């Protein structure tokens, strides 16, 4: 240490000593306690008494403040008792005033014990009141063990036990903390209770620990701990950080869309009015439950939820990330609905709450219809439109590869639009590729566009329809599903058309627009084909053409002959129970019976299809078989013996050069036998030099 520094320290010490001497000179020795024998001492043990003085609080050359008092009693051990003391301290530019009715100052003058109406206040207006407190001049800390109150304008509170650190400008509340932030609204404001709290005035925040509970604007907020950020004037809370088991519960009825919220942690932003919740960020298994305004319960959960609210309290914007789930509880006729995904972004209206949401990543839509397996839709993306206020899903649009399952019904498509109220699922694909598909245990349909009404179900397919009718697995009874008898019941059948209408309740599939049905060697073409899956009946209309192979067994040789056959007409109707196919209007059939034309042709098949029992023709009948041509009003062909029975008024038959007229005619396809009006004849026709001769035997 240099010489000048030593001299400076000596001067400071002398000045300090002079100040002490000055104070001592102002202290008068206590007079005789009883000069006249009639005066009582204030405290017989006190050695010195002083009135209205000031004690300087200094550390070396540094002044830290002073203590003013109404009177002072000094004791032999050097301690003092101050009456109506007020200590003013200054640290780091802040001034604190501590007043009480009495104070006890230790001999070392580093600790002051204050009792009776203790108040600790600052120039900015914050004041704490208690019955007893201690002040450590060296630490710059005021401590109190009992009950206390504090406040600054709209901010007030109470606790049991506190400490105030002048250096850090930190008020620590130790037990049973209650803090209130008033607002200009009746019944408004915020009340916070906790086990302990810290009021960091320099940082403008209050930290609460231990069973934190807040009540504001009809909401009850709870958490393990909380950090309340105050405005610059410390008159309202502008943000809350909740940590551990954070939860907001709405008390009473209201129209606000946010009812109950919970998460591991929450960050809340409060509006300028100190009341309105502007934003809530929920972190760690966050959820929001809505049930206001009579709407059915709606719950949204995710690992992270970022919610922005309109001034009305309804949701303006929502962002959800990781393990996202939206649940709509069942109510009335509306079933429970559930959506899960990786992310969700939603928007809302001031008076309607959340009205639109987009889900992305592993999307699953689930609809639980009472008494039935759940309807499940999966896609890469899902856009939903919600009804204002009620929160019901109006429309759901699936994108990026969609699969939907409802019981045995399954769909796949590039995109899908689900009209929820109507129960209609609209399936679409990219132009020329990725056509949608619908299938169940009976039917598979591919087309450019397919609309499915889930109730039924009903199906409408358009453009390039391709369908597969699958055989149903055999039931325990051994009976297969009902398919038209013209087809084999144990093999699939295929249909193409421009459009398809399928009514699942009626089990009726109607194909229109160049419709074609085929299975192996059997095919039917028409402008429209309708198949009744329940009865196995089939109807084809307009330009009907059917092709099939008929098997005939020769009883003599036991050989089976397969003959390709065709039948055309304006309309065809197959009745499965009777195994009967009826061709109407310009009917024409070419098969083992020959070339047959009539206004109406009816074919009866043997059980199992593929074999003809008989064929009947009505009105304007004309048949050409082998070398014989016959016309009449009605024809019956018996396949078992290749026999024709033709009636009319009259029947005419032409055999090469000979024409025969009868009322009824019976003949056999492969034999030269005929019976005209019941009279059977055997004929042998020969041709000689261009003329016909015959021999006839009766």
What are residue 470's phi and psi, to 5 degrees?
-90, 145
Residue 9 scores a pLDDT above 70: no
Residue 475 scores a pLDDT above 70: no
pLDDT of residue 122: 83
Tokens 């109730």 sit at which residue?
Answer: 455
Higher pLDDT, 565 or 687: 565
Residue 38 scores a pLDDT above 80: no
pLDDT of residue 258: 59
Contact 584/570 with Cβ under 8 angstroms?
A: yes
Q: Which of 244-248, 488-492, 641-645 has the highest mean pLDDT?
A: 244-248
Pairing of strands 80-83, 691-697: unpaired
Tokens 């969700």 sit at which residue?
Answer: 344
CA atoms of 120 and 128, how far apart (whole Å):
5
What are residue 3's phi and psi, to 5 degrees?
-65, -40
pLDDT of residue 91: 76
CA atoms of 39 and 35, how far apart (whole Å):
7
CB atoms inside a 10 Å sphere around CB 663: 14
CA atoms of 166 and 164, how far apart (whole Å):
6
pLDDT of residue 296: 58
Contact 161/128 with Cβ under 8 angstroms?
A: no
pLDDT of residue 600: 96
CA atoms of 467 and 500, how far apart (whole Å):
9
pLDDT of residue 681: 58
For the ranges 25-29, 248-252, 656-660, which has the lowest average pLDDT? Answer: 25-29
Q: Where residue 358 falls among pLDDT bands split at 50, 70, 90?
A: very high
CB neighbour list of residue 535: distance below 8 Å, 6 or more residues apart: 482, 576, 577
The C-alpha R_g of the chain, in whole angstroms, comes to: 52
3-class state of residue 482 by DSSP: coil
3-class state of residue 372 by DSSP: coil
Token digits of residue 262: 């919970």
CB neighbour list of residue 488: distance below 8 Å, 6 or more residues apart: 519, 520, 608, 609, 610
CB atoms inside a 10 Å sphere around CB 175: 15
pLDDT of residue 447: 94
Residue 429 DSSP one-character state: -
CA atoms of 534 and 77, how far apart (whole Å):
113
Consecutive H or E run containing 12: helix 3-26
Residue 13 scores a pLDDT above 60: no
pLDDT of residue 338: 92
pLDDT of residue 112: 85
Consecutive H or E run containing 248: strand 237-250
Residue 188 scores a pLDDT above 60: yes
pLDDT by residue (tens digit) across 266-323? 999 988 887 788 999 999 999 998 764 555 578 899 999 999 988 887 888 999 999 9
Q: Which domains does the chain have, with CATH numbers?
A: 45-151 (2.60.450.10)
Higher pLDDT, 241 or 108: 241
Question: Span 28-50, mean pLDDT?
Answer: 58
Residue 41 scores a pLDDT above 80: no
pLDDT of residue 222: 94
- Which of 15, 3, 47 shows the shortest CA–CA distance to 28? 47
pLDDT by residue (tens digit) across 122-169? 888 888 999 999 988 778 888 999 999 998 888 899 999 999 888 888
| % of the chain exceeding 90 in pLDDT | 42
Question: Span 370-381, mean pLDDT?
Answer: 89
pLDDT of residue 15: 37
Q: What is the mean pLDDT of the chain?
A: 83
- Dump strand ranges (E) for 414-532: 415-419, 424-428, 437-439, 443-446, 449-453, 458-469, 493-503, 508-519, 522-532
Using CA atoms, how far residue 404 sits from 60, 252, 419, 458, 465, in Å, is 84, 40, 14, 15, 19
Give per-residue burial for 209-239: e unless 16+ CB within 10 Å, then b: beebebebbebebbbbbbbbbbeeebebbbb
| % of the chain exceeding 70 in pLDDT | 84
For the ranges 256-260, 420-424, 666-670, 679-683, which has the lowest average pLDDT? Answer: 679-683
Residue 507 DSSP one-character state: T
Higher pLDDT, 63 or 319: 319
Higher pLDDT, 205 or 688: 205
Contact 585/570 with Cβ under 8 angstroms?
A: yes
pLDDT of residue 631: 92
Residue 558 scores a pLDDT above 90: no
């Amino acid at each position: 240490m240099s010489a000048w520094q030593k001299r400076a320290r000596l001067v400071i010490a002398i000045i300090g000593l002079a100040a002490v001497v000055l104070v001592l000179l102002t202290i008068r020795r206590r007079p005789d306690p009883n000069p006249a024998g009639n005066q009582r001492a204030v405290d017989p043990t006190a050695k010195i008494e002083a009135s209205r003085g000031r004690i300087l609080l200094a550390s070396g050359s540094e002044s830290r403040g002073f203590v003013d008092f109404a009177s002072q009693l000094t004791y032999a051990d050097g301690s003092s008792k101050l009456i109506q003391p007020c200590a003013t301290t200054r640290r780091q530019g802040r001034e604190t005033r501590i007043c009480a009715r009495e104070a006890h100052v230790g001999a070392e003058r580093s600790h002051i014990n204050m009792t009776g109406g203790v108040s600790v206040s600052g120039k900015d207006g914050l004041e704490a009141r208690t019955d007893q407190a201690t002040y450590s001049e060296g630490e710059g800390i005021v401590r109190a063990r009992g009950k206390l109150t504090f406040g600054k304008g709209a901010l007030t509170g109470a606790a049991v036990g506190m400490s105030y650190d002048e250096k850090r400008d930190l008020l620590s509340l130790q037990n049973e903390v209650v803090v209130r932030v008033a607002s200009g609204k009746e019944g408004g404001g915020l009340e916070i209770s906790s086990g302990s709290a810290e009021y960091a005035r320099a940082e403008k925040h209050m930290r609460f620990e231990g069973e934190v509970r807040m009540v504001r604007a009809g909401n009850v907020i709870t958490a393990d701990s909380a950090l309340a950020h105050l405005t610059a004037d410390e008159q309202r809370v502008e943000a809350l950080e909740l940590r551990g088991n954070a939860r907001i519960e709405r008390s009473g009825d209201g129209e606000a869309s946010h009812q109950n919220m919970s998460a591991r942690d929450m960050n809340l932003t409060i509006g300028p009015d100190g009341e309105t919740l502007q934003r809530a960020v929920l972190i760690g298994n966050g959820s929001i439950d809505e049930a206001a305004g009579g709407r059915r319960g709606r719950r949204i959960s995710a690992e992270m939820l970022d919610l922005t609210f309109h001034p009305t309290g309804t949701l303006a914007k929502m962002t959800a990330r990781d393990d996202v789930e939206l649940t709509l509880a069942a109510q009335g006729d509306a079933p429970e609905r559930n959506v899960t995904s990786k992310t969700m972004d939603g928007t809302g209206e001031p008076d309607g709450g959340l009205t639109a949401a987009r889900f992305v990543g592993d999307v699953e839509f689930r609809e639980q219809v009472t008494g039935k397996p759940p309807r499940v839709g999966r896609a890469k993306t899902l856009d939903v439109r919600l009804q204002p206020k009620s929160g019901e899903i109006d429309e759901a649009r699936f994108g990026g590869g969609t699969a939907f399952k409802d019981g045995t019904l399954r769909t796949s498509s590039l995109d899908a639009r689900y009209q929820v109220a109507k129960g209609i699922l609209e399936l679409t694909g990219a132009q020329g590729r990725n056509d949608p598909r619908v299938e169940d245990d009976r039917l598979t349909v591919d087309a450019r566009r397919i609309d499915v009404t889930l109730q039924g179900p009903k199906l409408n397919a358009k453009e390039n329809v391709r369908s597969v009718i699958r055989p149903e697995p055999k039931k325990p009874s051994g009976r297969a599903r009902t398919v038209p008898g013209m087809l084999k019941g144990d093999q699939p059948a295929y249909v193409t058309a421009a459009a398809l209408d399928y009514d699942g309740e009626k089990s009726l599939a109607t194909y229109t627009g160049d419709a074609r049905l085929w299975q192996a060697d059997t095919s039917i073409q028409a402008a429209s084909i309708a198949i009744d899956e329940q009865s196995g009946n089939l109807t084809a209309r307009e330009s009907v053409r059917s092709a099939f192979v008929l098997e005939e067994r020769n009883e003599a040789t036991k050989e089976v002959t397969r003959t390709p056959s065709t039948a055309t007409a304006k309309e065809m109707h197959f009745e499965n129970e009777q195994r009967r196919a009826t061709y109407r209007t310009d009917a024409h059939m070419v098969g083992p019976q020959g070339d047959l034309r009539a206004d109406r042709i009816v074919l009866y098949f043997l059980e199992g299809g593929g074999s003809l029992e008989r064929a009947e023709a009505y009105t304007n009948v004309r048949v050409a078989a082998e070398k014989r041509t016959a016309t009449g009003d009605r024809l019956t062909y018996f396949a078992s013996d290749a026999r024709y029975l033709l009636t009319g008024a009259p029947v005419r038959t032409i055999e090469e050069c000979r024409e025969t007229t009868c009322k009824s005619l019976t003949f056999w396809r492969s034999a030269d036998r005929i019976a005209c009006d019941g009279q059977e004849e055997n004929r042998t026709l020969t041709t000689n030099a261009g003329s016909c001769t015959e021999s006839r035997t009766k």
